[in-house]
Amino acid sequence: MIRIFAFLFAVLVSGHSANAACRGTDLRDHLPPSEKAWLAQQMAATPYSVGNHWVARKGSQTLHIIGTMHNGDSRMARVMRRLRPIIAQADAVYFEVTRTEMGKVKDQIRQRPEAFLLPPGRRLQQLMSPQGWEQFELFAAMSNADMETIQKMQPWALSLFLIPGGCRPFGFGLKRGLDDRIERYAARKGIPIGGLETAGTGFSALARMPLRDQVRMLENEVAFVLSDAPENATAVEAYFDESVWQAFLLEPRLAGQFIDVSTKELTRLDRAFYSNMLGWRNKLWMKTIRQIKGERVVIAVGAAHLPGNDGVMNLLKRQGYSLERAAFQ
């Protein structure tokens, strides 16, 4: 148990690899016409599929909903120039989880080891397919990972802390992303700061996935890392186009070109993952948002939380808020 805690503490302190600089390709520029038409159709069918800044009004209350990217990028400076006057006038600023709360992640590992570990007597090798385990062993050897430690960990934890992030702009507690910049600015201005969830909520969302799906996703991620797929900057570039949902729609279709898994199965796994990481958490957040008392409030959450039937914007609409898209950069 101590070795597992030490491993998780090490990756939390060092920051996991999603902080790596992105030098990849925006694969939207290389889509055939049929795929572009499919993507446009899917975006049109998704509520609030575009826009990183929305204004929600209900009675005397105005909420500025900001879709963020958790990774750093030099273009954030331009975004902050537009957002600073709005933040400065806010009665409060809310985030998915505050930096102070994220400092309690280590406590979560100590207090809830069952959320991070496989059931007693189970080992990762028993759960993976022979080919999946062979690839995972190769990947782990390249990563200098402690196999005895990771054999006891849940697949979601390995995916989060061990798989290279590259150009993926989403994760826990990343530095210099828009959330981090907004929170630091609000703190300097003395604006009250709050969180929509605790440090353990995101981990609980990941652990909600069936173990068999966690294993399949880990196998697919390892296969993709070991493939000849180019570094994928689509999500980052789509974020600054204010259409990050395009990247999420394309993710399983693009991955299917480089690993031996059907697009149908990759799509099923993606939907299962995001129904927990996005939809489930969004619905929990609504309880907190309904209790916010300030008249002018900024709510900054990952941009992927905004679109969709269970997205933040559609849920606010159901709560009786009027919605208007606002300038972002």
Q: What percent of the chain has pLDDT over 70?
A: 88
State the Cα angle at 97 between 96 and 103, rounded to 5°.
160
pLDDT bin (cut points 50, 70, 90) of residue 102 is confident
How confident is the model at residue 18, as a pLDDT?
Answer: 40
294 assigned to some structural domain: yes
User: Quick check: is 103 in a domain?
Assistant: yes
Of residues 5 and 198, more confidence is placed in 198
- Mean pLDDT to the nearest integer, 52-60: 97
The whole-angstrom separation of Cα 105 and Cα 140 is 24
pLDDT at 298 over 80: yes
Average pLDDT, the chain: 88
Q: Would residue 20 count as lying in a domain?
A: no
Cβ atoms of residues 92 and 183 within 8 Å: no
Positive or negative CA dihedral for 209, 198, 52, 296? positive
Amino acid (one-letter) located at 79: V
For tokens 């900057």, the residue is 233
Q: How do residues 247-276 score in pLDDT, each as one tens digit?
A: 999 999 999 999 999 999 999 999 999 999
Residues spanned by the domain of 142: 2-10+30-325
**Would residue 17 count as lying in a domain?**
no
**Would you place residue 230 in the very low, low, confident or very high pLDDT band (cuts 50, 70, 90)?**
confident
Given a cut of 50, whether residue 15 has pLDDT beyond it is no
pLDDT of the residue at 19:
43
In a domain, 21, yes or no: no
pLDDT at 131 > cutoff 80: yes
Structural domain count, the chain: 1
DSSP β-ladder status, 53-58 and 322-325: antiparallel
pLDDT at 281 over 70: yes
In a domain, 18, yes or no: no
What digits encode the pLDDT tens for the residues 160-184?
Answer: 877 766 565 554 445 578 999 999 9
Q: Domain for residue 23, yes or no?
A: no
Whether pTM > 0.85 for this model: the answer is yes
In a domain, 208, yes or no: yes
DSSP codes of every residue in 251-315: HHHHHTTTSSS-HHHHHHHHHHHHIIIIIIHHHHHHHHHHT---SEEEEEEEGGGSSSTTSHHHH
